[in-house]
Amino acid sequence: MISDLTRVLIPAATAFIIGILVTPIITHYLYKYRAWKKHPGKIAFDGTQASEFYRLHRQNEVKAPRMGGIVIWSSVLLTILGIAIIAKFVPSVKILELDFLSRGQTWIPLAALIIGSAAGLIDDLMVIRPNKDGMALRLRLFFVVLLSSCAGWWFWHKLGVTSVNNPFGTPFELGWLIIPLFVLISLAVYASGIIDGIDGLSGGVFGSIFASYSIIAFAQNQIDLAAFSAAIVGGLLAFLWFNIPPARFYMSDTGTMGLTLSLAVIAFMTDSLGGGFGIAVLPIIGGLLVLTVASNIAQIVSKKFLGKKLLRIAPLHHHFEAIGWPGYKVVMRYWVLSIVFAFAGVIIAIVSI
């Protein structure tokens, strides 16, 4: 009999090893086909050129390839399918216990990860073409709304999820309104993908977040979901191994879109469905994601209504760069804060069970 903890840790270690092994192959083709932006810079939300961003990142943007997120989702996919296939053809008791591909716990978050990553990959392929932009923002948002609406309907209609647990009282009964709530949370989490802006930043922050939900799912005895979240952590660590400054590649949309959509699904699966508070603790565990989105909103509001910038550049991590912090200092401090937020969220989630 394999312990539940081993069932969680082995997928994490396997995804990490696979990620380390496939990265040289992925890197070879990314550099061979020059998979980076051909022109540096980006357009701000008001339609003007983001001059501070251009000053800070004009060199790296045209040297490091995009699509590093392939390392993350490919290592997770190879891990979960590899173990499932081995379990099918080598039906020993121990191998069967390691198989965490299950309809009840991993099909939905895996689908969100793969479909979201595929859409992000299409956007990345559009970005790296000469004199071309990526997928229009409204089209990406439409895709997120469509996918999250389908997932929200599945939670409501198929799984019977109609409420959100409240750590401080009775659950909030929403009925079919659980669907628009799922869409709103998915959009909010997707917006936080802009944290992918400095070498090593997004990988470390997302690693802490998914590790937290792996612990929460484990405490709820959702072992397959815990193993899936742990496998994502393994893939993120493999990505981070090569993304620490100077980064070999950027995560870009094929990483952030898949990760943020699967995170929204996992938060819902660890809420009323798992007898926990996965949604309530999401703003705590993902505190830095909230701060990143909030800083962007504050910048837009300040420019529109006050006529001046609140920050040198938004989101906040770029502001710290603009005022003189080295990139590695921003990243290290964000990693520390992400771990602190993760501990706080996990404690609240587990104590309240």
Please provide the DSSP assignment of 200-258 as one string.
Answer: THHHHHHHHHHHHHHHHHHHTT-HHHHHHHHHHHHHHHHHHHHHSSSPSS---HHHHHH
Q: Average pLDDT in the 176-201 region?
A: 92
Band of pLDDT at residue 96, cut at 50, 70 and 90: confident
SS3 353: coil
Number of domains in the chain: 1
Q: What pLDDT does residue 36 have?
A: 85
SS3 163: strand
User: Per-residue pLDDT tens for 111-133?
Assistant: 999 999 999 999 999 988 877 67
Dihedral over alpha carbons 335, 340, 342, 345 (to 10 degrees): -160
Nearest 5°: phi and psi at 76? -65, -45
Q: Average pLDDT in the 294-323 region?
A: 89
- For 231-268, give one letter per residue: b (16+ CB within 10 A) or e: bbbbbbbbbbebbeeebbbbbbbbbbbbbbbbbbbbbb
Residues spanned by the domain of 11: 4-35+42-351
Q: What pLDDT does residue 44 have?
A: 54
Between 218 and 313, residue with greater pLDDT: 218
Task: Return the DSSP state at 61.
Answer: G
What average pLDDT is seen over the chain?
A: 90
User: Per-residue pLDDT tens for 35-77?
Assistant: 887 766 565 555 555 556 656 655 666 678 999 999 999 999 9
Nearest 5°: phi and psi at 113? -65, -50
Q: What pLDDT does residue 307 have?
A: 85
Q: What pLDDT does residue 88 have?
A: 84
Q: What pLDDT does residue 254 have?
A: 94
**99 annotated among ligand-binding-site residues:** no
